[in-house]
Amino acid sequence: MDIDIAPQLAEFREEIRRWLDDHLVGEFAQIRGVGSPTDDAAWEARLAWEKELGAGGWLGLGWPREYGGRGASLAEEVVFEYEYARAAAPARVGTQALELLGPTLIRFGTDRQRERFLPKIVAVEEMWGQGFSEPGSGSDLASVSTRARRDGDDWVIDGQKIWTTFGHHADWLYVLCRTDPDSTLRHKGLSLLLVPVDQPGVEVRPIRNLAGGSEFSECYFDGARTSTDMVVGEVGGGWPVVMATLGMERGAALMPMQLSMEREVQETITQASKLGATADPRIRRRLTDAYIAVHLMRSTNLRIVSDLIDPDAGVPGARSAAAAAIMKLFASTEHQKLGELALDIQGDLGLLESDEFSPASNAQKMFLLSRAETIYGGTAEIQRNIVSERVLGLPR
């Protein structure tokens, strides 16, 4: 996985490689490639690894220095992600805070909110969960019914959220609430609140997934409280804040997952050769398709990054947003195909319970956990609507 991005950053690239070589050892070497945004395997070891990254200054690279970041350029952030994937370092556990909430606070938060939360995020001292979806409000977030009302210096919150990633590990939740029940416009009267978990009015219940993990949770709010200064953006103006957060989730935040898929394809090819599956021309064709798919993803990522890095690229925002929507749809469907292929290659071994992190176990997890990828972060149906209407200009 040698990517020639920003050749002028060769020295920075070598710094990253040396640091990873020096630190990805011992217990951390044993969890290379382990975990994903939907897999909480080896949680404690991954949490310790993330603290190692924080101590080394490798979290929140692009954040301002006064909040614990490096003030790194986008090109430097991209180089880091590629080198991180190349080293097969374990999946990071603080994605919700690092890739989604943090940038949202930098853009929309108050100085006090940034000073209070950002340094603790990069130090991995506080974990965050997202409180957006509800049992009756998934893709249609404007219909959320969780309510928050003012009571003196506090907001009082009542309602339910679901599919909160790593919610049972969270110290705080960022919650989309309806703060103006009299608003006649669904997208109005919504606010994004920062809510502490450790209080009587919050109950978090883990949800066991197909693969036996508990990366999702449902959260109940019954008179939960947070102070009135814990609103991100304007009171009643939470919709544009949430849309910006979701844009990050469907765009740049997907890059680590897409890069790890390159490694999974190589591992699948290795397993196919080892088990003799390449003798089957149908398997060979599917392996070829998977190899082509990840290189298409790489090329598209590079094009998006080039647009964003190149100051002479014109106005790349709309083009990059469109490419991100297409890439989210393509990556999720291709990852499901890869999971099916990896399990087929394992044959009978794929039907049996296997040792953790064994090739058969990895294939099973990929197959099972990828089922949700065409749902979370924007369903495949919604992504197709975005592409058809906003990219191709087709009627609704």
For residues 232 and 156, membership in a common domain is answered with yes
| pLDDT surpassing 90 at residue 158 | yes
pLDDT at 313 over 60: no
Tell which residue, 246, 234, 235, has the closest CA to residue 103. Answer: 246
Number of domains in the chain: 3
Retrieve residue 265's tokens: 């394809």
Residue 387: pLDDT band (50, 70, 90) is: confident
CA pair distance 371, 282, nearest whole angstrom: 23
249 catalytic residue (yes or no):
yes
If pLDDT is split at 50, 70 and 90, which confidence band does 6 have? low
Q: Return the pLDDT at 214.
A: 81
Q: pTM for the whole thing?
A: 0.83
376 touches 138 (CB < 8 A): no
Checking if the pLDDT of 28 tops 60, the result is yes
Q: Are residues 175 and 295 in the same domain?
A: no
In terms of domains, do 161 and 226 share one?
Answer: yes
- On whether residue 242 sits in a domain, the answer given is no
Domain boundary residue among 236, 269, 286? 236
Classify residue 119: in a domain, yes or no.
no
**What's the CATH code of the domain at 366?**
1.20.140.10
Residue 198 lies in a domain: yes
The pLDDT of residue 311 is above 60: no
Q: What is the mean pLDDT of residues 234-239?
A: 91
Strands 154-161 and 216-227: antiparallel
Angle at 202 between CA 197 and CA 203, to 5 degrees: 105
Given a cut of 50, whether residue 72 has pLDDT beyond it is yes
Does 227 lie in the same domain as 271? no
Tell me: pLDDT of 230 over 90.
yes
286 & 173 share domain? no
Residue 15 has pLDDT above 80, yes or no: yes
On whether both 263 and 353 belong to a single domain, the answer is yes
Q: Does the residue 202 lie in any domain?
A: yes
Same domain, 264 and 225: no
Q: Are residues 270 and 383 in the same domain?
A: yes
Q: Give the model's pLDDT for residue 310.
A: 59
Which of 73, 93, 113 terminates a domain? The answer is 93
pLDDT of residue 136: 83
- Please report, rounded to a whole number, the percentage of residues in the chain having pLDDT higher than 70: 90
- Domain-embedded: residue 115: no
Average pLDDT, the chain: 87
Same domain, 149 and 74: no
The residue from 215, 249, 262, 264 that is catalytic is 249
User: Could you tell me if residue 246 is inside a domain?
Assistant: no
Of the two residues 263 and 47, the one the predictor is more confident about is: 47
Do 133 and 186 belong to one domain?
Answer: yes
Q: Is the Cβ–Cβ distance between 300 and 328 less than 8 Å?
A: no
Residue range 54-71, pLDDT digits in tens: 999 999 999 999 999 999
CATH number of the domain at 26, please. 1.10.540.10
Question: DSSP 3-state assignment of 98?
Answer: helix
Do both 298 and 230 map to the same domain? no
Instruction: List Cβ neighbours of 337 (8 Å cut-off, separation of 6 or more).
Output: 286, 289, 290, 293
pLDDT at 168: 93
From 236, 265, 287, give the residue that closes a domain: 236
Mean pLDDT of 129-154: 89
pLDDT at residue 314 in the model: 47
pLDDT of residue 3: 55
Q: Is residue 118 part of a domain?
A: no
Q: Is residue 110 part of a domain?
A: no
Is pLDDT above 50 for 30? Answer: yes
Query: The CATH number of the domain where 227 resides is what?
Result: 2.40.110.10
Identity of residue 122: V
* 138 shares a domain with 31: no
Q: Is the pLDDT of residue 267 over 60?
A: yes
- Helices 74-86 and 255-274: angle between axes, nearest 10 degrees: 20
pLDDT tens readout for residues 73-126: 888 888 898 889 889 899 899 988 998 899 999 999 999 999 999 999 999 999
pLDDT greater than 70 at residue 307 = no
Enclosing domain of residue 25: 7-93
